[in-house]
Structure 1
Amino acid sequence: MKRALLSVSDKNGLVVFAQGLLARGFSLVSTGGTKRALDAAGLAVTAVEDVTGFPEMLDGRVKTLHPLIHAGILAKRDDPAHMAALAEHQITPIDLICVNLYPFAETIQKPNVTRAEAIEQIDIGGPSALRAAAKNSDSVWAVVDPADYDRVLVGLDENDAALRQSLAAKVFAVTAAYDAQIAAYLNPEPFPALYTPTYRKLKDLRYGENSHQQAAFYAAPGAPKSSLVNAVQLHGKAMSYNNIRDADAALSMLNEYRDPAVVAVKHMNPCGIGVADTIEAAWDKAYAADSTSIFGGIIALNRTVDLATAEKMHALFLEIVMAPAFEPDALAVLSKKKNLRVMTIQLAQPAAATVEATPVRGGVLLQTTDAAIEGPDDVKVVTKVAPTPEQLSALLFGQQVVKHVKSNAIVVVRDGQTLGIGAGQMNRIGSVEIALKQAQTNANFAGAVLASDAFFPMADCVDYAAKHGIRAIIQPGGSIRDQDSIDAADKYGIAMVVTGVRHFRH
């Protein structure tokens, strides 16, 4: 008779799977809670301690770690010496291992979990048994995922060797990911000597950045609730690769704001941001910021979407609308467009600094996210004229926007509204020209101020800004030619403040 060892933390599908094994001539061996579940279902099952002659001990830390178990798993069935050794020691071969691991990742996500509680969810015997079975997958079935139970039963009927090999590979992937999560928990250093990220595939995508590229979407274990992987799509067609990247950028921008805010994104750059007393007013500002570029854009809102705001968005072609919630009649209006993706998201309050990775050929770059937010006390007035309170508020708003714009980045704003954005130019004056050309078409341009992600290496940007109506500028400073820009600002009566914080975004 074939023997199967079952020891699972996730009991979903367990009884039906065990019944299938019994029907196929297996005897069952089990541990602790798994055995109790099988006993309750009236199935014939032998306790591990009856096989080993040694009781479970140390509060369950030692159960399957025994030669009578591991020799039964690891013996090569086609090696006479191995089989003779089993016979000599009266060890029965084990032909199938079904184990899923202690819920370590789920445990450490719980609020106020202690280190001691987390440590107890580090599985030792489970990974050992699974890895032994996977190593001997020419003869032994290694089952780690309840989602595989049905196809394992079919594979047993067909003696599907290819499936056994596939399951073995999955075991090593699962245990590697499990160990990586534990290592990250025990060593929270953001830049460890060994960087071992692990991700779970959420879905395959139709294609990547372009139609000839393949792509898939993965989630990190324990991803924060405020991340895009935990968004819920309520309506519309499937998200594409570019949709996901744009939506993630929009969510990062949205997390900057506590007041009602609307962010419109195209190609990972903001094309309009509005902050106001109500979400409808914020939408009006974001739309008016660039009513041309918003076409086909991604819209993120940090308040529940009401009917009036939904009706205004419905009048446009948009790719995605995402918000914490939607009033039922607002959702009904947006859902009239069958392809519009409507999603609920959770926001970070405030945006938390994390570590982000950027792949390079043969490696990866890690850095902490740019979570810096400058306030009134973080700026230094360097000109003869100081900004008015209204100008300073606008400058700080522009500084929040500029950190999410591709460098070289220039943002022209006024009263909680972007008016013009110059992004990704090879020289800073080019970005200034683009931002001001767009801003001057806006009815709210009078009194606009300008924000720069990095210092001005020359005074030409200040000269151009002054000639086109800018009366206040915020920039990090730090150039060896800072004084040239300060002198130019003084010449034109412009207020300039520096922050000492650069917000490059490559």
Structure 2
Amino acid sequence: MKKALISVSDKTGIVEFAKELINLDYEILSTGGTKRLLEENNIAVTKVSDYTKSPEILDGRVKTLHPMIHGGLLALRNNPSHLEAMKENNIDFIDLVCVNLYPFVETINKEGTTFDEAIEQIDIGGPTMIRSAAKNYKYVTTITDNDDFIRVVKEIKEHGETSLELKKELSLKAFLKTAVYDSYISNYLINELVYNPKTFTKVFELDNQLRYGENPHQEASLYKMDNDDYSLLNAEILNGKQLSYNNIQDANVAINILKEFKEPTAVALKHMNPCGIGSSNNILDAFNLAYNSDPVSIFGGIISLNQKVTKALALELNKIFLEIIIAPSYDDDALVELKTKKNLRVLKLDTTKSSSTTKQIVTVNGGALIQDVDQLELTKSMITTATTLTPTDNEIEEMIFAMKACKHVKSNAIVITKGTATVGVGAGQMNRVGAALIALNWAKEHGHNEELTLASDAFFPFDDVVKLASKYGVTKIIQPGGSIRDKDSIKACNELGIKMVFTGNRHFKH
């Protein structure tokens, strides 16, 4: 009689599977809760400790770590010395293993879980059995995914055994299972111990296959990395088709910008750069500020909002060709309006959630760059006035708004604002003067030529940006400072009547 060892935490479908194995003349070995469940359903089960003639010890920490189990799993059945060893030690072959692991991830995701509670959910016997069985795939069927029950039973019924092809596939899935499990454990320990490892593993679980990547000739998939509440992957799609690769990239930037602002704010975004950001005391006015910043570039772009979408706002949004709208909620009549555009992707995401993502991973050829996420929050206390003219509290608030916007623009970045709205964005230029010219000229062409604020993501190496800005109506500048030639820019500001403050922190974005 063939033997199957079943020990599972996720018991979905296990009773039905065990019944099929019994009907196929398998003897079932089991432990703990799995054994009890099978017996409650009148399924004959041999307790592992009875089979091994060795008791469970250490509060169940040691149950299956025994030569009767691992000899039965690892023996090569075409090797005479293995067969002789099995005979001498009265060990039988085990033909099938069905194991899934202690719920470590579920445990650490529970609020209030202690370190010791997490450690106790590290499975030892399960991964060991899985690896033993998977290594000996030619002779042992290894099941770690309950979705494979039907395929295994079908092949045994049709051929008396699972095929070598299926065994190989299940072996691969088994090793992936233990690798992923160990990755979650190591990453938990890294975070708990604040440890900088020499090797870095991260689990990426397939979320869905995308139609294509950045361009139609590139294949692409979306993988989920962390259980982050403030993730685009948790957004509910209320209207429109699947997000594309570029949609996901852009939308991720849009929600990250939105997180900078507590007051009603709208972000208009295109190609991973904001083309407009507006804050006001109501979301409709905030949207109008963002839209008027650049009503040209937003065509085919994204609008993200941190307040409920009303019907009045929906009517305004529907006047524009947009790919995506993201908001925490929508009035029913607003949704009716937005759904008249069948291809408009309408996403619902709770913007009050905090992001738990602390590391940013960027791939390069043959490797990856890993850094802390730029979560630095600019406050008044961090600002120092560099010029003889001192900005008012209200002007400081405007300058902080400008720097929050500039932080999310590709470097070299210059942002021009008026009050709490962007009016010019210069993104991704090879020199800072070029970025300033783009932003300043845009502001001027759209009627903004006085009482403007200029924000720069990095310091000024020369005084050229200050002198240029003065010709366009800039009266306030916020920048990191720290150049060996800061004095030149300060001198120019003093001579031109411009107030300038330093933040002490740059925000390069490549």
Name the TM-score, length of structure 1 as normaliser: 0.96
Q: What's the counterpart of residue 308 of structure 1?
A: 312
| Residue of structure 2 equivalent to 1:486 | 490
Q: Tell me the SS of whatever aligns to 1:440.
A: helix
Of the three residues 201, 210, 218, the one matched with 1:205 is: 210
Equivalent of 2:428 in 424, 433, 453: 424
In structure 2, the CA distance between the partners of 1:210 and 1:388, relative to structure 1 (3 Å rule), is: same
Matched residue SS, 2:474: coil
- The answer for the alignment partner of 2:242 in structure 1 is 238
Q: In the alignment, what sits opposite 1:66?
A: 66
- Aligned residue pairs total 505
**What residue number does 2:80 align with?**
80
Match of 1:42 in 2: 42
Give 1:227 deviation, angstroms.
1.7
Question: Which amino acid letter does the alignment assign opposite residue 108 of structure 2?
Answer: I
Cα distance in 2, alignment partners of residues 420 and 456 from structure 1: 19
The whole-number CA distance in structure 2 between the counterparts of 1:82 and 1:350 is: 56
Matched with 2:168 is: 165
2:177 pairs with 151, 174, 177, which one? 174
Q: How does 1:39-438 map to 2 (within 5 A)?
A: 39-156=39-156, 157-158=158-159, 159-188=162-191, 189=194, 191-220=196-225, 222-347=226-351, 354-438=358-442
Amino acid at match of 1:489: C
Q: Deviations over 1:26-51 (max 9, x none)?
A: 22111111111112222122211121
CA distance in 2, matches of 1:328, 1:14: 43
CA contact (8 A) 1:7 1:98 kept: yes
Q: Does the CA-based 8 Å contact 1:5-1:97 persist in structure 2?
A: yes
Letter of the 1:242 counterpart = N
Q: Deviations over 1:201-256 (max 9, x none)?
A: 11111111111111111111x42111222222222111111111111111111111
Q: Is the Cα contact below 8 Å between 2:388 and 2:494 reproduced in 1?
A: yes
Give the deviation of 1:462 after TM superposition: 0.8
Displacement of 1:325 = 2.0
Q: CA deviation at 1:330?
A: 1.9
Deviations along 1:6-26, one digit per CA (max 9) or x if unpaired, are 111111111122222223222
Q: Is the 8 A contact 1:301 1:323 kept in 2?
A: yes
> Bigger CA drift: 428-437 or 282-291?
282-291
| Deviation of 1:81 (Å) | 2.2
Once residues 367 and 132 of structure 1 are traced to their aligned partners in structure 2, the CA distance between those partners, rounded to angstroms, is 37
User: Residues of 1 paired with 2:45 and 2:357: CA distance?
Assistant: 50
For residue 187 of structure 1, give the secondary structure of its aligned residue in structure 2. Answer: helix
Contact 1:256–1:350 (CA<8 Å) still a contact in 2?
no
Q: Relative to structure 1, is the Cα distance of residues 350 and 172 closer, same or farther in structure 2, using a 3 angstrom cutoff?
A: closer
In terms of mean alpha carbon deviation, does 380-389 or 391-400 score higher? 380-389
State the distance in 1 between where 2:108 and 2:75 align.
37
- What residue ranges of structure 1 are gaps of 5+ in the alignment? none
Distance in 2, matches of 1:155 and 1:265, equals 53
8 Å Cα contact 1:255-1:351 kept in structure 2: no
Tell me if the contact between 2:230 and 2:355 (Cα under 8 Å) persists in the aligned partners. no
| Identity of matched residues, % | 48
Q: Cα RMSD between the aligned structures?
A: 1.6
Paired position in structure 2 for 1:502: 506
Amino acid corresponding to residue 61 of structure 1 in structure 2: R
Q: Is the 8 A contact 1:353 1:370 kept in 2?
A: no
C-alpha change, 1:267 and 1:119, in structure 2 (3 Å) is same
Residues 306-340 of structure 1, C-alpha deviations (whole Å, 9 max, x = no match)? 22222211222111111222222222222222111
Cα distance in 2 between the residues matched to 1:175 and 1:63: 19
Letter in 2 for 1:183: S
Q: Judge which range, 483-492 or 442-451, deviates more.
A: 442-451
Would the aligned equivalents of 1:227 and 1:346 in 2 still touch at CA under 8 Å?
no
SS of 1:77's equivalent in the other structure is coil
- After superposition, the Cα gap between the structure-2 partners of 1:64 and 1:502, relative to the gap in structure 1 and judged at 3 Å, is same
TM-score (norm 2): 0.96
